Structure 1
Amino acid sequence: DMSVREQEKEGASLGDTSLKEELNKKIKEQKVVVDELSNLKKNRRVYVQQPNSNIFFLADKAETLGSCRRTLDNMKKEYQDL
């Protein structure tokens, strides 16, 4: 029979696992975004979707790529800290 404390520990580790899996999925998706932006032809336009809306604005490709790389780096750091 497990004590309450042991059950809490098990519950926390289960929560951490799903959080880690979710973050890992997001990291993979972000890697695809960075790769796609990196391999665009020079004359291609990049549009960024505005948060909580269906509106897209023309964006600077280099700035967008830099921003996406920073997001990926932050996700990787967060993942390592879990």
Structure 2
Amino acid sequence: MVFVEIVFVGLPIDRDEVEEALEAAFELDGEVSGAGGGMGRCHLDLEIAASSDPTAALERIRAVLSGLGVDDCATLTVSAG
């Protein structure tokens, strides 16, 4: 399993919109497993199936964020589990 924490600072849209877009993009390959916010920041935790190509998964995440216009306020942290 690959875990990706996406931290947003100054997110210009509702976090739920980003969550829904990521859920749609990953369907069976992954899911948003957590979310939170406070102090001007918010985050989403995404679990990606071990069978997925991690590089392709990160490209998919970046494409979703770019499509929503929020890639500039996002930081991704990747870890394997």
Of structures 1 and 2, the larger Rg is shown by 1
| Structure with a larger share of its residues in strand | 2
| Structure with a larger share of its residues in helix | 1
